[in-house]
Structures are given as C-alpha cells and as structure tokens.
Amino acid sequence: METNKEGARHLLKCAYLFDAVLARIPDNLWNEPTCCEGWTVRDCASHAIGVMVNLKNRAVGEEPVDYQDGSWAGDNPLLSSRQRLDDLVEVIQDADLDMQFNSPIFGDLILGEFYGMMAYDLLVHAWDLADAVGIDHGIDELTAEVAVAKSGHLTSLVRSEDYEFDPSCGDSVLNRLIESTGRTPVNGWS
C-alpha cells in the first residue's frame, strides 16, 4: 500500500539528484543554453529553485512565488538551491502529508501525492542541466519509473501541441520520460 510519505520521499530523492547535478556544474557554464527554449543553465536552475520554494510554501500555507522570474539562482545557484532544499526538508519533516487542498491546475489533491507528482519537475530539470553542460545526471531507472508512475500524466501539460514521439530517444524509461515532455538533448539523442 502506497502512503503519502512515499510521495515526499520521492520528492526529496529528486531534489537531492538536482542538488548533485548543480554541485558539479563548472563555473564557466552557467550561461550555456539548455534544451528548454530560451533558457540558460542559470535560468533552468533558477526555475527549479523557485519550484522548491513553492513546494515548501504549499506545506506551510504561504502564497506561491513567481518561480519564473529568474531571481532564484542568485549569485551562487548552488548555495541558493541548498538553502531552499534545507528549508524544504525541514518543512517536510513536520508537514501534514495527508492534508487535502485544491490546486487551480490539478484540482483536489493530498499533499504527499502532490509532492510525489511534482518531484518530476526537479528530476527533469536535473537532466536538463546535466545535458546542457555534458555531465552525468546520476538518475537511475528505478527513480525514473517512479516518476513516470507518479507524474507521467503531466507531460502533456509541458509539451507543444504539435508534439510527435521521437523513437531515437531509445528504450530507457528516463529517456522516454524526458522525450515525452517534448525535450531533445542539446546534442541530440545518442
């Protein structure tokens, strides 16, 4: 039987995978383009850091922030991310993961399920960053399988209307998850 704690655990695992990628980005590559149209590595990191803030805010009843404003990475994206990750971890320890709320996008949800569902955002952006700077993303297939199970239904919300599956992504669960969002690696699928 799945519990709402599993959603929170999956979120934290994906957040730490994101953190591990961020920690390995060389200082001279923050302005490199990502596969996210118009976003640099810094822009992508800033978005994901803002998402972490909103995930924390959801648990404590605070208003959401504008995670798209580009300010969340600050002068030191790793330090900014780690501060927000520490805040998220602290809040999750005492959060009521069975709390019900209404999301304007997803409708009625339970906090723990929401965390499991939204974890894919951090997972996919960890992949985006690693892809952009040419480092290993460190995401295992089991984590990708959990992301697909909890979040696979969300991919249609982020891809273009003219999306067509690209079989060159291969058979890995992670690659198919990434491809299903409409992404193509900076240097193509290999």
pLDDT mean by block of 10 residues, the chain; 190 residues: 84 98 97 96 97 95 89 95 97 95 88 94 97 97 94 77 88 93 90
Give me 49's structure tokens. Answer: 């850091």
**Residue 138, domain member (yes or no):** yes
Which pLDDT score, from 0 to 100, does residue 190 have?
A: 76
The residue segments making up the domain with residue 62 are: 4-142
H/E element, 110:
strand 107-110
Q: Please tell me the pTM assigned to this model.
A: 0.94
Which pLDDT score, from 0 to 100, does residue 44 have?
A: 97
**Residue 121, domain member (yes or no):** yes
**Residue 185, domain member (yes or no):** no
Give the domain CATH number at 52. 1.20.120.450
**Residue 83, domain member (yes or no):** yes
**Residue 87, domain member (yes or no):** yes
For the chain, report the end-to-end CA distance as a whole number of angstroms. 38
The residues near 1 (Cβ < 8 Å, ≥ 6 apart) are none
Which pLDDT score, from 0 to 100, does residue 103 have?
A: 85
Strands (E), 36-189: 100-103, 107-110
Give me 122's structure tokens. Answer: 């951090």
**Residue 32, domain member (yes or no):** yes
**Residue 180, domain member (yes or no):** no
Which pLDDT score, from 0 to 100, does residue 141 have?
A: 96
**Residue 103, domain member (yes or no):** yes
In one letter, which amino acid is 8?
A
Which pLDDT score, from 0 to 100, does residue 122 have?
A: 97
Q: How many structural domains is the chain composed of?
A: 1
Which pLDDT score, from 0 to 100, does residue 2 have?
A: 62
